[in-house]
Each structure stands twice: as C-alpha cells, then as structure tokens.
Amino acid sequence: MAELDSFRSETRAWLEANCPPEMREPMRSESEACWGGRNWTFSSDAQRVWLERMVERGWTVPHWPKDYGGAGLSPAEAKVLKEEMARIGARNPLYSFGISMLGPALLKFGNDEQKKRFLPEIARGEIRWCQGYSEPGAGSDLAGLQTKAEDKGDHWLVNGQKVWTSYADKADWIFCLVRTSTESKQGGISFLLFDMQTPGVSTKPILLISGNSPFCETFFDDVKVPKNQVVGEVNRGWDVAKYLLGHEREMIAGMGLGGTGGTLGRMLKPDDPFLRAEIAAFDVDALAFAAMSERFFEMFKASEAHPASPSMMKYAGTELNKRRHELMMAAGGSDALEWDSDRSKGGKTPRDWLRTKANSIEGGTSEIQLNIVAKHILGLPGA
C-alpha cells in the first residue's frame, strides 16, 4: 500500500508539472480530440506537447508491456493514473482504435513480428486504424460477411465492401474481417491487416443527420495484401473478432461514464423541479454504473468477467449516455434547439444528442446485446 501511495504522489506531481493548462479544459467538440496518425495535424502546441510527454512515460497505454511502448503498470497503478488524471480534468492524450481495440487483440493473438511492428507505433500515436467489420449484408449477422480474400500464393487478393467504417477516410491502416473459405460460416473468416493506401482501396463518407460524417463506405478492388499480415490462424479470425468485440463494447460502454465533467446536477441547474428530480435520479444511476464499470473492468482484465458482461455493460452504458443527452436537451430549453450559432457553440448539444442515437447500433445493436445476455444467463442454445 505504501508503494501505491508513493506512486500516487509521484504521478500527481508529474501530472501537475507536465499537463498543459489547455489540456485540463473540457473538449468543446469532438474535433479537439487527438487521434494521431501519419496525416495528423495537432490543433495546438499544447496538444502536441501533452501527447509527446505521455508517450515518453508510456502512459498512452500504461498497462501494456514496456517493450511495446507501454509503462508496464499494474492494474492498481493504472487505476491510480486514471484517478489522478480525472482529478485535474486532464484530457485523454490520444484517442485510438489501435489502443482500445486492435492492441489487445494483437497482444493475445499476434505473433512477435506483428507485435514489435505495430504496437509501439500505436502507443506513439503514429498510426491510425479503422475497423473493417460490417458489410451491407452483414451487420448484426456479422459472420455472414462476404468480402473475399483469395490465396494467390505470395499474397492475398481482397475484393468486397465494408460499411459504417468509422473514420476510414482518415485512417492509415485497417483491421479487416475477410472470408477465406466458404466451407464454414464462422470457420471461414480470417483477420487481416493492411494499409489504406494500398492500390484498390477507396472510401466514401456517409453524412449523418447530425451534420457530421464519421462513417464511411469502404471498397476493396483487387487489393494485394502480404501473407504475413494475417493475425492468428487463417480461417480462425472469428476468435480474434469476438475477442476484439469485447474490447470495443467495453470502449462504447465507457460513454455511459460521461467523461470527467462531473455529475449532471453540477452542470445543469434548471428551474423546473420535476426536471431537477430527473437529473438527480440520473446521477444516482450514473454513479451506480461507474461503480459497476470499475468492478467489471478489473474482472475483465483478469479474465474473470462473465461472458455476458461486455454485452451487459455495452447495453447499460449506451442507454445511460442517451438518457444523459436527453436531459441536457431538456435543460437547455430553446437554446438547445439552435443548430448553428455562437450561443449554441455550433449546435454542440443537439449534434451530440443526435450522435447518441448511434450508440445502440454501433458495436452490435442493443437487441443483439440483449440476446447475448439472455443466452448466457438463461443457458439458451448458442450461448
């Protein structure tokens, strides 16, 4: 305990000395998040300095091994770091599907060459990834995907289409599910990595009702991929995909925590007593969810979580996030209806509210999550 107290003191002192004041202010929009990658342009010197300093400490991926760009922190130390960053309102220095989704899958299924090649780049924010899972005919039934990778001897030849590919037009590389055999639905899928600049890859943004366009259609036309860029075994990519989905649902469930802005009761002070009561009830539920999340994440990292836990957390977190933004709209009154003005900060409240509608679809719909929970809890077929 004394060692953990000492770590907390050192961490607090370092953060106070090294986190720029600008990086302690809440982000005003998603555009202020740092995603890194080879084409990334920092929004300010403070954003660049904050990332560089955190990378130097290995604190963009604090629990990863030092050999792969992490700090090798224990779960207890990583929790202290998270608490101390929240205490000063420090922004996440790097948002990355490489960190939250691909990295854990590479650590478990990747070979030594793949780990040494990709993980340090992910930790330093030098490579930005997108996820090639959903297809026009394979969303909820993901195992029905038809994007094909043919074995051409010295390379794979990929043809097909993905959809709802988040930030595909900005990503450097893609982790992609492809069909390498038709003999088995789930047993004929492989997990492939390739550069988005490979000839034959193209993207088309999808404009959403919020006015933003984070999603894309992604097309592959005779894309040549080196044979050594399959993660895990050929035709066993479904195992990698399911493991990664657990981490994706963990990431999406985190939206239910609402960042480091504190309770809604501190942010919103409407005159309507009924609305204040709703906000108070929400804050109680949000605190309960935060406590449940902490316990779940510790069990998940120790491989002790119930198989249905990621789906349960994903469902609860997304419903909570939608409820949070409904209350923010209600408390905002007529100001919250303004779509584009200085007073509404470019319509941040309604745009964020509309974005939450995707929460119960992305990463597997709420209906899919409830089916998974029911199968595991009730012992139904297919669990």
3-state secondary structure of 132: strand
8 Å CB contact between 261 and 197:
no
Task: Say whether 248 is catalytic.
Answer: yes
CA 374 to mean position of chain CA atoms:
25
**Residue 75 tokens, joined:** 């779960």
Q: How far apart are CA 373 and CA 124, in angstroms?
A: 36
Catalytic residue (one of 248, 298, 326, 367): 248
Q: How far apart are CA 111 and CA 141, in angstroms?
A: 29
Question: Which of these, 38, 336, 358, lies nearest to 214 by C-alpha position?
Answer: 358
113 Cβ contact list (under 8 Å, min separation 6): 228
Please, which residues bridge with residue 131 across strands? Answer: 175
Helices 237-253 and 309-332: crossing angle in degrees, nearest 10, is 30
**Residue 58 tokens, joined:** 């290995």
8 Å CB contact between 313 and 253:
yes
Which amino acid is present at 83? E
Q: How far apart are CA 212 and CA 353, in angstroms?
A: 12
Q: How far apart are CA 148 and CA 156, in angstroms?
A: 9
8 Å CB contact between 192 and 178:
yes
Q: How far apart are CA 285 and CA 296, in angstroms?
A: 16
Which amino acid is present at 221? D
Per the listing, tokens 């779940």 go with 296
| Catalytic annotation, residues | 248
